[in-house]
Amino acid sequence: MGVTPHAERRLRRLIHHQNQRTELNAETLTERLQAQGAERVAGEAEVVVVLDGSDLRKPHSQKLEHLDVVRDLKGNLVPGYHTLNAIGLTPDGRQSLLYHRTYSTRSPGFLSENAVVLEALRQITRSLREVGVVRIIFVLDRGFDDLKVLKRLRRLKVDFVIRAQHVERRVRLQPTGENRALQAALQLAPVSHTFAMSRPVLREGKLSWRPTPAEIRAQEVWVDEGKLHVHALHLHFPTRPKGEQQGWTLLTSLPVSPGVHAGQVVRLYLRRWSTKDVFSWTKTALGWEQVRVLQFEALRTLVAMAWLAAAFVFTLGETVDTPEVKLLAHLGGAVPHKNRPPGKKTILLGLQRLSAAYLARHTTRQSEEHPSEKTLVDKLFGPQ
């Protein structure tokens, strides 16, 4: 912010919505993020959507507006805010940022976290269907295990895989059968599949994978007094690893049969872990936990800007052979390597340095016209 004497003042007017000529705010930025993210997966036969929360921690803050309570990496309660984010995964492995919202349960007019989730499901589904995505599969963790969420997913006519949190909820094995606990109902099913899997282990924010033998039991069940049909699947770990003694219970709309189909459901759930590095990267490389503004709406605007920047870098990282991305990688300090393309952090650093150079040139030049981006690329790499 030291490029011009007025740069800091302009930025403050922007994020505090004091500039009457701009409609730039958290809502318009996230709408743009959704539109761009959906466009990147337009026409896909299938998109897996991982919807997950990520806390924005402010452990040393006391005066921020509508400051909420979140958990740190050790599980302790600290001041902060909540975010809800969605990443779309295509069959060929591409990732697309589809949704973001920063919220506080203490802000005026806040209804409930369930309301935030239900609205996110509706918006994401609508934006993907508008660009012709044929099949949508939501992958959700335990915090989303709620009857209202299950009903909304069914109403939206999308598929889902949810890790169950309420394993004692009452279910039926037949629509008109007797109620019994979900966990007990699954124990009635035989082991249908045994295999070895890589199990994710998350400790203090660091993710590792450990080989673990697993057994699967599957059962058709009806919830909501027999009105809602789902497939339940229990993943048992015979070695009873620490923290996973009870195994995993998954609820899905997908058909589950012995063998391959059950394995597909487990693999779908495991895909949510591939997005953990994205949340970590946005926090460290983009620094959205370091945002320091007192007003809540200003903070939401800056964090939304960071996610929009992340989406831009994601797009750049898909085509590392273009001269423009080669330039950014070079500016970011990448060392050319045949089997190791530049990562997102390197590309982002190059983008930051190029932006700083452009701003410095733009604010200090007098009448001299600055060269175009293509001219700059040609000078560095030769005519393209």
Which residues, in sequence order, are bridge partners of residue 162? Answer: 140, 251
- What mean pLDDT is reported for the chain? 83
What residue type is assigned to position 15 of the chain?
Answer: I
With cut-offs at 50, 70 and 90, classify the pLDDT of residue 350: confident
Residue 380, pLDDT > 50, answer: no
Maximal CA-CA distance, the chain:
83
Dist CA 293 CA 205 (whole Å): 25
What is the average pLDDT across 316-333? 70
Angle, CA of 200, 203 and 204, to the nearest 5°: 140
Q: If you average pLDDT over residues 129-153, what whole number do you get?
A: 97
Q: What is the pLDDT of residue 7?
A: 46
Q: Which CATH superfamily is domain 21-285 in?
A: Transposase Inhibitor Protein From Tn5; Chain A, domain 1 (3.90.350.10)
With 90 as the cut, is the pLDDT of residue 261 above it? no
Tokens representing residue 1 in the block: 């912010």
Q: What is the pLDDT of residues 70-129, one digit of tens each?
A: 998 888 999 999 999 999 999 998 889 999 999 999 999 999 999 999 999 999 999 999
* Confidence (pLDDT) at 352: 72
Instruction: Give me the residues paired with residue 100 across strands.
Output: 85
pLDDT above 70: residue 175: yes
pLDDT band for position 274 (50/70/90)? confident
**Of the candidate ranges 193-202, 291-300, 356-365, the one whose mean pLDDT is the lowest:** 356-365
CA pair distance 88, 48, nearest whole angstrom: 6
Q: Which range among 35-49, 51-65, 155-169 shows the weakest confidence by mean pLDDT?
A: 51-65
Distance separating alpha carbons of residues 269 and 272, to the nearest angstrom: 6
Let me know if 60 is exposed, middle or buried by CB neighbors in 10 A (0-12, 13-18, 19+).
exposed
Smallest CA-to-CA distance from 99 within 201, 10, 26, 177 is with 26
**Residue 324 pLDDT grade (very low, low, confident, very high; cuts 50, 70, 90):** low
CATH 3.90.350.10 boundaries in the chain: 21-285
Alpha-carbon distance of 139 to 161, in angstroms, equals 5
Selection from 258, 245, 251 nearest residue 217 by Cα: 258
Confidence of residue 31 (pLDDT cuts 50, 70, 90): very high
Percent of the residues in the chain that have a pLDDT greater than 70, as a whole number: 81
Is residue 163 within 8 A of residue 270, CB to CB? The reply is no
* Residue 1 pLDDT class (50, 70, 90 cuts): very low
pLDDT surpasses 60 at 235: yes
What's the average model confidence in pLDDT over 35-64? 92
* For range 162-189, the mean pLDDT: 94
Greater confidence (28 vs 277) lies with 28
Mean pLDDT confidence for 202-227: 89
Among 101-115, 159-173, 183-197, 292-306, the minimum mean pLDDT is found in 292-306
How far is the C-alpha of 34 from the C-alpha of 127, rounded, in Å? 7
Total number of residues shown for the chain: 384
Q: Does position 8 have pLDDT exceeding 50, yes or no?
A: no
Q: What is the pLDDT at residue 359? A: 59
What does the pLDDT average to over 314-320? 64
Among 228, 250, 253, which Cα is nearest to 171's?
228
Mean pLDDT within 61-66: 88
pLDDT, tens digit (0-9, with 9 covering 90-100), for 280-308 = 777 776 666 777 778 899 889 888 888 88
Highest mean pLDDT: which of 26-30, 45-49, 206-210, 257-261?
Answer: 45-49
Write a three-state SS string for the chain: CCCCCCHHHHHHHHHCCCCCCCCCCHHHHHHHHHHHHHHHCCCCCEEEEEEEECCEECCCCCCCCCCEEEECCCCCEEEEEEEEEEEEECCCCCEEEEEEEEECCCCCCCCCHHHHHHHHHHHHHHHHHHCCCCEEEEEECHHHCCHHHHHHHHHHCCEEEEECCCCCCEEECCCCCCEEEHHHHHHCCCEEEEEEEEEEEEECCEEEEEEEEEEEEEEEEEECCCCEEEEEEEEECCCCCCCCCCCEEEEECCCCCCCHHHHHHHHHHHHHHHHHHHHHHHHHHCCCCCCCCCCHHHHHHHHHHHHHHHHHHHHHHCCCCCHHHHHHHHHCCCCCCCCCCCCHHHHHHHHHHHHHHHHHHHHHCCCCCCCCHHHHHHHHHCCC
pLDDT for 367 equals 43
